[in-house]
Amino acid sequence: MRFIRAYWGKLSSFNSRHLEEILHIKNTSKLNDYVYVWGTGNYNYIKSLGFECEYMGEFEYDYLHNSDIYMLPKLWAIQSGVSKFNEVVFLDWDCLQKRELDDTFYQLLRSRDTIQMPLYTYPHNYKEQVYKEWKDIPVKEKEYIEKQYEGLTKFNYTWGDSFVTPNAGFIYCSDSTSINSLVGIIKQNNDINIAIEEMGFLEYSKQYCKSIEEYSLRFEPLVASAKESTHFNQGDLNKILPTKTIYFQHI
């Protein structure tokens, strides 16, 4: 098994948040992360930090205006990783290791489907909550949230007054068929046009599951949490998910 990450875009974007996350992983990770990188400048920089990297070409698109394809590099990285290493765990840069890996980690992870993502929640009044707390929200961010909310209303598991969807901060995959099928679903469904790896996996999972309960028995990894309990009503969702041993926490 190999732990992989990916980077594309501009290191200076989002007030250099991504750059800070990359540096944190560089200074703390003991996973021997393999990084798939788009952009020559990104590749040279991330490689200079000591990561084992693979240059994947150029990919200069905008996260809002090109949201129908913007997250494809994450899925391409998994496709390449499975082809190269057979079994991978993809981690976002803000998905952090909380516990040393041991035999239990591998046993738990391999006890579920060949592709897994943890679930997380958004309340039905998600937009209102964000706008209430983010008074000076930039126009572009507001446009993104509007588009995201529209997608959530179409692609979700309904649970009380919340939308529940997969979170792609932690993705396990050990079979090329599953990741290729996910990419195919995204390409074939024009309505999946934002957060495509998450909403696409929602549709992928609904081929096999009709509820959160069914999803949790097949696709919910027992070693990772999608969000901390303070994320909306994630704490309540975690109570109905299977008991986990948390090795990785997406923040």
Separation between Cα atoms, residue 95 and residue 249, nearest integer Å: 6
Q: Which residues contact 217 (CB under 8 A, 6 or more apart)?
A: 242
Instruction: Identify the pLDDT of residue 15.
Output: 86
Is the pLDDT assigned to residue 241 strictly greater than 90? yes
**Domain boundaries 1-251, corresponding CATH code:** 3.90.550
Prediction pTM value? 0.97
Q: Residue 200 corresponds to which tokens in the numbers above? A: 């696409």
* Other beta carbons within 10 Å of 214: 14
Q: Residue 230 corresponds to which tokens in the numbers above? A: 């303070």
Q: How confident is the model over 75-91, as pLDDT tens digits?
A: 999 999 999 999 999 99
Q: Which residues contact 160 (CB under 8 A, 6 or more apart)?
A: none
Report, as an integer, the average pLDDT of 13-21: 90
- Read off φ and ψ for residue 245, nearest 5 degrees: -110, 110
Torsion of CA 122, 128, 129, 135, to 10 degrees: 140
Residue ranges per structural domain of the chain = 1-251
Strand partners, 152: none
3-state secondary structure of 130: helix
